[in-house]
Structure 1
Amino acid sequence: MSEPNGVEGLLRELAPQVLGALLRRHGGAFDACEDAVQEALLAAALQWTADGVPANPRGWLLTVADRRLVDQVRSDSARRRREEALALATPQAALLAPAADEPDPAADDSLALLFLCCHPALSVPSRIALTLRAVGGLTTAQIAAAFLVPEATMAQRISRAKQTLKAAGGRLAPPDGAGGAARLGEVRHVLYLIFNEGYTASGGEELTVPRLAVEAIRLTRLLLRLTPGDAETAGLLALMLLADARRPARTGPYGALVPLEEQDRERWDHELLREGMELIAATLPGGHPGPYQVQAAIAAVHSEAATAEATDWPQILALYDLLLRFDANPVVALNRAVAVAMVHGPAAGLALLDALAADQRLARHHRLLAVRAHLLDRLGTDPAAAARAYREAAARTSSAPERRHLAARALRLEGAGGVNM
């Protein structure tokens, strides 16, 4: 799935710009402004598709959104609470005409909007939902479908996020100094989480959610354009590109999961690989690598190998050692255990898993069991234990493709070795 183009791509690009301009024009009221922008986007999707894109699409959207906002404020009694909130924040006259100090219409508030949607007062799921809707321009229904939740549930999550922002006094202004650096890290983390859900869905019948992966890449491109020279943002984009390049080869017939070592590397997207490799090559020599740059470097080592057997596992292990200094979380440690097994043998990797099993954050996660099963399978001394681990991992995952893949691995061992279960 390529990045959105035509009318859809233009609307997604303009959505945060129009919302930012509307927020500046009317002095706040995020929920009312965001609703008005969504209505303008829907109107544009219908009209522009039929009649063509206007000469000034941003101005068209801003005008329509502004009118919708005024209509909302003046509408029926069901909207009075919103009217009162908006009236407190904005003089009524400001709703009827542009403010005297209206900002430059060409200004792009996308970065400030990203910071606002990733406000510390919001939970991580709320940050993700609000970012996808306000900055990504996705509808509530599209976000709900991507995360496999009912539309009403996602609508409530977004509504609560807006109310939390209002209570926290969130403003459309990127923080500066140390606070700005910390908040930029939070924005990157939200985009990383969006991409991860798109790269490997946490549940459902499909292995991937391409819309989320594509949107995360688009928003990270935007973030890099707005923060040129930020090495970690460049590293994050490189990581996404190198990972997403494998998507065409990650599933086989009927959506079956294909592990990295079994993928047909000719099916990888070599244009994305080239762009990702160029980004990381331009970033790492700067001498101040961060966790996203290191993860991108690991992905680059995999990408450089013509075959799975040619992978430079000692280099990957060294990179995981470095990554643990930045991010000593159990998932990184689990991935490092795989690298240790590839360099020093399955028994060495299995020894590390015993310690990880004591970490409550990972103890019952299907990934730990899946890695244990894989290493026991490679060791070859106890196929019954490997099969049991595959079966237990399959039972714990919410992803149907992963469940089928793990169950098939167990069945192969049971069939080959006559394992009694």
Structure 2
Amino acid sequence: MTARALVLGALSLGASTLRAPLRARDTELLATGLRAMGGHVSTVDDNLWVLRPRPLGGPARVNVGLAGTVMRFLPPIAALADGTVRFDGEPRARKKALAPLVNALRTLGVRIDAEHDRLPLSVHGIGRVAGGHVTIDASASSQLVSGLLLAAPEFDRGVVVRHVGPPVRKPHLDLTVHMLRAAGAGVDDSRRDVWAVEPGRLNGRAWDIEPDLSGAAPFLAAALVTGGAVTIEGWPAASRQPGGPLLEMFELMGGAAALTTHGLVMRGSGAVHGLVADVSRVTEATPVLAALATVADSPSHLYGLRGSPDRTTALAEALGGLGADVTPEADGLRIRPRPLRGATFRTNDDHRLAHAGAVIGLAVSDVRLDDVACTAKTLPDFPRLWSTMVHGGNGGSGGAD
């Protein structure tokens, strides 16, 4: 939500404010990228960001780090800038296939230099994009569609995006459409796998940013592993995020969730059950669900992961390093519980894998994460919050008993 509000604010007429934005590595990189192109993003304090409209231009350089939102949301914005914007990132980011986005932008009239359609790439903006119809395979990431939709109101003819290929993950696309409409855009998503955005100016507005519910997954899982209880403060009663499906998964695995005046309370039953489920709506939480599955009382089959082959492979290898019986499949994982051993858990510089390793560490002695700093990607305070929870304190964003 923070990433989308930043992009919409940069393109809007009038100022926009972000209340309680997610302050993390990915969102800081996105804000820095907008500033590099001439955008005005100011920080009043940790709980308030302000964006004011300014013409975007180059030459500029944008560091995407490893942030999918930066590498997929900002090139369409750069196409609207006047000048050349060069994008690059960490070595692993250069392995990410951006061909669907690059080819879509070229179809819409944008000049892009990108060897093998990967980073580094240069977008040669002329201050406007013709727009029109594009067909794209966004099965690798729904962000490929969101990036086009967020910029589309500024295109001369708007855009009609048609997805072809395996099913695309919907919750984050629904959030994109909702926020576009809230900023004044005309969006038609009535046809399956087709999104049409009309040309028109967006309105600056105040955005109240919800907490990132996927970041709560390891804390919720802690209740199941320990047979205790965890309270997540600030859990919204209604949300565009897939909070409901996430809680359903935890309840199927033995948890009991209740929304109280103090927050969302998850209680463990003392047993963790295996899970057979389509996790396509909660892919960000899949590593944590897989971690729970390794200590469950029955086998699990997590499927619906076609868009995350690298993470699935790395997750299987990391869990296998602890002795887990994990079989990767084309669209998921099969996990058969067996005794685990303490060892170094390889996070592969993936914040979600670090969350999974922390969860297993509650059930298995001597589990060591080779890198917990990677959690700064979306939750910089994770080490402190986790330590506070485990030691029975009240960390402000989560408590445990």
| TM-score, scaled relative to structure 1 | 0.34
Instruction: Report which of the two has the higher share of strand.
Output: 2
Pair member with larger Rg: 1
Greater relative CO, 1 or 2 (CA 8 Å, sep 6+): 2
